[in-house]
Amino acid sequence: MKNSKRWGRRVLSALTAAAVLAATPVGAAGNGKSKGKPPASSHRYIEVQLLGINDFHGQLNVTRKVGGREVGRADYLAAYLKQREAENKNTLLVHAGDAVGASPPVSALLQDEPTIEVLNKLGFDVGTLGNHEFDEGVAEMLRLIHGGYHPATGDFAGADFPYVSANVVDAQTGKPILPPYVIKRVNGMPIGFIGVTLTETPTIVTPSGVAGVKFIDEATAINKAVRELKKKGVQTIIVLAHNPGVSNPDGTNASGEIVDIAKTIDDEVDVIFAGHNHAYLNAVVDGKLLVQSYSYGTAFSDVDLKIDPRTKDVVAKKAEIVTTYHDGITPDPEIRTLIEKYEAKVAPLVNQVIGTAAETITDEQNESGESALGNLIADAQRAAMKTDFAFMNPGGIRADIEQGEVTWGELYNVQPFNNQLVKMTLTGAQIRQLLNQQWQPTQTRMLQISGLRYTWSASKPVGEKVIDIQLPDGTPLKPDAEYTVTVNSFLADGGDGFTVLTQGTNREVGPVDLDALVSYIRGLEQPFSARIEGRINRLP
């Protein structure tokens, strides 16, 4: 299960279409139109095109909006990729992790096999592991890659393209569980692709998901692979890294883990495809071109290289982040047919109407950290387990509830992780510690709450930000008193850094979080609604 907030929609909506289209080539976001022929003087160099995506999350049939225009869906993404690919025979397709996991029902209910099939059909050449590839454990991840049998779906052929991972190693042998790199030859030029995954993965995935593997330092793993590639005469080297980064549209102010990695690794690396934080990145750092194209197939990265055939090294490179606007292209019919086949398989369950929303209920947090959808989900979990309180991690809320009829499939998109609910007992002092753990050195994660209210101060130091904690009737939380609490299994195991939850006693396992939400909404007066109620209050 992923820990980070669903950045994609936030960043996409904040960056208007006008700003996207106005960006310059390094830091540019395109409109999907043909790039045109290169200057005649470039004929002496071999021109290679890399088309990349990151954080696709199986969003085969999900449409989103950027600047009021529809974007996303695999059939539209496919049309853009095929259009660009037709312009250069020396094209490779790559992905930087989280191709699957936290997926909509059309992919998730079929073990994400449909997403791999679509990537196969598009002719992807190489991919790497994101944290979500580990959602169902290493064995299931390797089954999707190499093929194998699953009780729910039967036999599956696996990916037609290699996955590379230099820093995910077997916990016993210390050897990579997948090849650290692969060499692709394009028009006679050897190009090395190295894969890495963020080392924080064990803290943001359930323990069972990463059982048996360890994550070593990304830069160390990359540099080792680069040394091996150079010994083999490879001078053009690309890194597929599921590590976060962001920049301004013009390439300035690049920041994030991937920037730090870029400054540390061998200068023979030419390009790094980043991921994880669902953001825009197109910048040159330490001579290396860094790109990330949001998430969910709403955009892709188009990297153009010029390689000197004498040295086999890159002499020029540039990138464009292209938004997949629907009004700019006709969807690919082959991929649309595939999507419709998958939709038909899951339709009986997905299309069940659960209730009617009086208005759109979003997980947009106010300045205090409270959201209407977070309140609804926390209330549902507290009701399901009949506890005093409930706490919900914001990274587990993946979509809004739109106004009108609400189907099972829509609620699955909201909570796609299938985490079980866990009831436990905590003292008032432990609950205060839990709330203070929302503020961590690198990130703040505001838990969504039910059954209590509290105030916190922005001026207080980390560890002491929470001030008053009260029960619904206004009485204060007692440090020595014991209270029953509901959280999901991810949080119960200390996920997202909420380690105090591992100390909870009298544990009881309940239903899956999605089932609790479905049952709760069915029991509400229709049409139902939810709102921000002042459960969390921020002081200066």
Residue 496 pLDDT grade (very low, low, confident, very high; cuts 50, 70, 90): very high
SS3 185: strand
Over residues 183-196, the mean pLDDT reads 97
Q: Which domain holds residue 321?
A: 46-342
**Does any domain span residue 26?**
no
Q: Are 197 and 215 within 8 A, CB to CB?
A: yes
- Whether the pLDDT of residue 11 is over 90: the answer is no
Q: Which residue has the higher pLDDT, 19 or 205?
A: 205
Residues 356 and 338 in one domain: no
Is 34 within the bounds of a domain?
Answer: no
Domain-ending residue, one of 342, 377, 393:
342
In Å, what is the CA distance from 517 to each residue of 93, 361, 413?
39, 14, 12
Residue 33 lies in a domain: no
Tokens 């029953």, residue located: 484
Boundary (domain end) residue, out of 283, 314, 342: 342
CA angle (301 as vertex; 398, 96 as ends), nearest 5: 60
Q: Are 71 and 113 part of one and the same domain?
A: yes
Asked if residue 14 has pLDDT above 60, the reply is no
Question: Quick one: tokens of 202?
Answer: 């064990």
Whether residue 27 lies inside any domain: the answer is no
pLDDT tens per residue across span 439-457? 998 889 999 999 999 999 9
pLDDT at position 34: 62
Name the percent of the chain lying above pLDDT 90.
89
185: CATH: 3.60.21.10
Determine the pLDDT at residue 9.
35
pTM: 0.84
Assess whether pLDDT exceeds 50 at residue 308: yes
| Residue 344 confidence (pLDDT) above 90 | yes
Domain contains 56:
yes
Residues above pLDDT 70, as percent of the chain:
92
Predicted pLDDT of residue 154: 97
Q: How far apart are CA 252 and CA 266, in angstroms?
A: 22
pLDDT confidence of residue 532:
98
Beta carbons of 78 and 28 less than 8 angstroms apart: no
List, in order, residues 6 or more apart from 37 with CB less than 8 Å away.
Answer: none
If asked whether residues 310 and 458 sit together in one domain, one would say no
The whole-angstrom separation of Cα 157 and Cα 147 is: 4
Q: Per DSSP, what are the bridge partners of residue 170?
A: 213
Q: Report which of 176, 223, 167 is spatially closest to residue 200, judged by C-alpha positions.
A: 167
Res. 530 pLDDT band, cuts 50 70 90? very high
User: What values do phi and psi take at 429, rounded to 5?
Assistant: -65, -40
Residue 303 in any domain: the answer is: yes
CA quadruple 2, 533, 354, 297: dihedral sign: negative
Q: Are 31 and 323 in contact (CB under 8 A)?
A: yes
Residues 115, 90, single domain; the answer is yes
102 dihedral zone (left: phi>0; alpha: psi -120 to 50; beta)? left
330 and 369 in a single domain? The answer is no
Q: How confident is the model at residue 72 (pLDDT cuts 50, 70, 90)?
A: very high
Q: Would you state the pLDDT for residue 402?
A: 95
CA distances in angstroms from 21 to 17, 245, 538, listed in the order given: 6, 20, 37
Lowest-confidence range among 3-17, 37-51, 110-124, 234-248? 3-17
CATH of the domain at 448: 3.90.780.10
Residues 234 and 89 grouped into a single domain: yes
Claim to verify: residue 316 and residue 419 sit in the same structural domain? no
Q: What is the pLDDT of residues 362-374, one digit of tens each?
A: 999 999 999 999 9
Q: What was the pLDDT predicted at 345? A: 96
The model's confidence at residue 19, banded by pLDDT at 50, 70 and 90, is: very low
DSSP 494: T
> How high is the pLDDT of residue 115?
98
80 shares its domain with 198: yes
Residue 513 pLDDT exceeds 60: yes
pLDDT at 32: 57
pLDDT tens, residue by residue, 113-145: 999 999 999 999 999 999 999 999 999 999 999
Cα torsion 7, 10, 16, 17 to 10°: value is: 60
pLDDT higher than 80, residue 478? yes
Same domain, 258 and 327: yes
Residue 490 domain-assigned (yes or no):
yes
State the total domains in the chain: 2
So what's the pLDDT on residue 483?
98
Q: Among 233, 242, 283, 208, which residue's Cα sits nearest to residue 490?
A: 208
Instruction: Give yes or no: residues 406 and 469 share one domain.
Output: yes
- Tokens standing for residue 143: 């089954």
Return the pLDDT at 30. Answer: 58
Are residue 467 and residue 320 in the same domain, yes or no? no
Give the pLDDT score at 33: 60
DSSP secondary structure code for residue 10 in this structure: H
**CA–CA–CA angle 196, 198, 201 (5° rounding):** 125
Among the listed residues 96, 513, 159, 94, the one whose alpha carbon sits nearest the alpha carbon of residue 305: 94
How many CA atoms, within 13 angstroms, populate the side-chain half-sphere of residue 409? 20
Q: Report pLDDT for 442.
A: 81
- Which residue, among 362, 363, 532, 536, has the nearest Cα to 439 in the 3D structure? 536
Yes or no: say if 216 and 229 are a contact pair by the CB < 8 Å rule: no
Q: Kindly report, residue by residue over 382-395, the tens digit of the pLDDT.
A: 999 999 999 999 99
- Is 41 a domain residue? no
Q: Is the pLDDT of residue 240 over 60?
A: yes
Backbone angles phi, psi at 212, to 5 degrees: 90, 0
Among 342, 364, 383, residue at a domain's last position: 342
Q: Read off the pLDDT of each residue in 106-112 and give the average, rounded to a whole number.
A: 96
SS (H, E, C) 263-324: HHCCCCEEEEECCCCCCEEEEEECCEEEEEECCCCCEEEEEEEEEECCCCEEEEEEEEEEEC
Q: What is the pLDDT of residue 243?
A: 98
In the predicted structure, residue 537 carries a pLDDT above the cut 80: yes
- Give the pLDDT confidence score for residue 414 in this predicted structure: 96
**Quick one: tokens of 528?**
């139902």
Lowest mean pLDDT among 15-24, 333-342, 404-413: 15-24
335 and 450 share a domain? no
Which pLDDT band holds residue 36 (cuts at 50, 70, 90)? low
Query: Helix H segments across 281-332?
Result: none
User: What is the overall mean pLDDT for the chain?
Assistant: 92
